[in-house]
Amino acid sequence: MQFSQIDRVTLLEPGVRIEATKTVQGTEDYLKDHFPRFPVMPGVLMLEALYQASALLVRATEEHRVGLVVLRTAKNVKFADFVQPGETLNIVAEILKKDGSSYTLKAQGTKGDSIAVAGRLVVDCVEDDGQPEIVAKHAARYMKQLTAELTQTSALCE
């Protein structure tokens, strides 16, 4: 991961749950624009932190045999609190079910006693079988699918 949204994994139970943290330092580039007078971690990066923790859990569950763990869907995502510089997002992700190469997880990020972000994530495992082009093909397919879904959602909002 080029932009890790996890500082530390505090608990990892393969097949069950992961706990991790991300402390917003205040030196992150995105804080210059988001927002200059009220810097906060963007919601999309909070969601990315949930995904990254979930992917680590799935990889550990699969004993690191998968080439890629891709986010298929983020359902019922709710943003309830800001995370500002100096504050820590405590991330917990739990596996709810496995269906073939897909996992459904419940994930949430808290700040102190309050929930900042929560949702259900569906991720897919893509095995590369020593052929990275297979992973690239699957990644491209998921990007097309995600783009189509976002386009449909945007059209509904207009």
Catalytic residues: 34
CB 77 within 8 A of CB 107: no
Using the structure block, give the residue that is written with the tokens 């949930």: 50
CA angle at 141 for the pair 150 and 60, rounded to the nearest 5°: 100
Strand extents, DSSP E, the chain:
8-13, 17-23, 68-79, 88-99, 102-111, 114-126
Cβ-proximal residues to 118 (8 Å cutoff; 6+ apart), any chain: 76, 77, 78, 80, 106, 107, 108, 109
Residues in the chain: 158
In the block, which residue shows the tokens 């995370």? 83
